[in-house]
Amino acid sequence: MHQNSTTDFSLRRLFYNQEVRSVAIQIITLAVICYLVFSIGQNVLVNLAAIGKDLSMNFLWVPAGYDITFQPFVDYGPTDTHFRAALVGLSNTLLVAVTGIILATILGFTLGVMRLSNNFLVSKLSQIFIDFTRNVPVLLHIFFIYGVIINLLPVPKKAEAISGVFYMTNRGIFAPAPTLEQGYEFVVGAFLIAVAGCFVLAKWAKNRQMKTGKIFPLFWTCLALIIALPVLTNMMIGGAIGVEVPKLKGFNFKGGLILRPEYVALWFALSYYTASFIAEIVRGGILAIHKGQKEAAHALGISPTRTLRLVIIPQALPLIIPPIASNYLNLTKNSSLAIAIGYFDIVATLGGISLMQTGKEVETMSLVLLTYLCLSLIISGAMNYLNHRVALKAR
Distances (CA, A) of 272 to 98, 302, 321: 14, 32, 18
Whether residues 39 and 89 fall in one domain: no
Helix or strand holding residue 173 (H, E): strand 172-175
**Residues 116-146 pLDDT 10s:** 888 899 999 999 999 999 999 999 999 999 9
At residue 316, the pLDDT reads: 87
Q: Does the structure show a pLDDT above 90 at 239?
A: no
Share of the chain above pLDDT 70, in %: 95
Whether residues 266 and 355 fall in one domain: yes
Residues whose CB falls within 8 Å of the CB of residue 108, separated by 6 or more in sequence, listed in order:
274, 275, 276, 277, 278, 279, 281, 282, 324
Q: Is residue 385 part of a domain?
A: yes
Whether residues 136 and 27 fall in one domain: no
CA-CA-CA-CA dihedral for 303, 304, 306, 309, to nearest 10: 170
Helices (H), 136-260: 138-152, 184-212, 218-236
At residue 13, the pLDDT reads: 66
Q: Residue 258 pairs with which residues in a beta bridge?
A: 174
At residue 394, the pLDDT reads: 46
Closest CA to 271 of 316, 325, 330, 313: 330
Are the C-beta atoms of 285 and 320 separated by less than 8 Å?
A: yes
Whether residues 20 and 147 fall in one domain: no
Confidence of residue 73 (pLDDT cuts 50, 70, 90): confident
Whether residues 18 and 153 fall in one domain: no
State the chain's mean pLDDT as an integer.
Answer: 86
Helices (H), 213-290: 218-236, 261-287
Whether residues 25 and 112 fall in one domain: no
Q: Is residue 97 part of a domain?
A: yes
Closest CA to 268 of 351, 163, 349, 343: 343
Q: Does the structure show a pLDDT above 50 at 5?
A: yes
Choose the final residue of a domain: 6, 35, 51: 51
Whether residues 265 and 152 fall in one domain: yes
Q: CA angle, 30 as apex, 28 and 35 as ends, to 5°?
A: 95
Q: Which long-range contacts (CB under 8 A, 24 or more apart) does 351-355 make?
A: 353/64, 353/66, 353/85, 354/59, 354/64, 354/82, 354/85, 354/86
Confidence of residue 374 (pLDDT cuts 50, 70, 90): very high
At residue 363, the pLDDT reads: 86
Are the C-beta atoms of 129 and 277 separated by less than 8 Å?
A: no
Residues whose CB falls within 8 Å of the CB of residue 252, separated by 6 or more in sequence, listed in order:
156, 171
Residues 345-369 as b or e (16 or more Cβ within 10 Å = b): bbbbbbbbbbbebbebeebbeebbe
User: Is the Cα dihedral 326, 328, 333, 338 positive or negative?
Assistant: positive
Whether residues 332 and 286 fall in one domain: yes
Whether residues 28 and 114 fall in one domain: no
Q: What are phi and psi of 360, to 5 degrees?
A: -95, 75
**Residues 288-319 pLDDT 10s:** 888 888 888 888 887 888 888 888 888 888 88
Q: Is residue 339 part of a domain?
A: yes
Are the C-beta atoms of 211 and 195 separated by less than 8 Å?
A: no
Q: Is residue 30 part of a domain?
A: yes
Whether residues 153 and 25 fall in one domain: no
Domain housing 30: 14-51
At residue 395, the pLDDT reads: 44
Whether residues 374 and 277 fall in one domain: yes
Q: Does the structure show a pLDDT above 80 at 53?
A: no
Q: Give dist(CA 209, CA 202) in Å, integer.
A: 11
What does pTM read for this prediction? 0.84
Q: Is residue 211 part of a domain?
A: no
At residue 59, the pLDDT reads: 85
Are the C-beta atoms of 111 and 133 separated by less than 8 Å?
A: no
Q: Give dist(CA 376, CA 169) in Å, integer.
A: 34
Q: Is residue 212 part of a domain?
A: no
Q: Is residue 148 part of a domain?
A: yes
| Number of structural domains the chain divides into | 2
Whether residues 273 and 386 fall in one domain: yes
Q: Is residue 248 part of a domain?
A: no
**Amino acid residing at 263:** Y
CATH code of the domain in which 100 resides: 1.10.3720.10
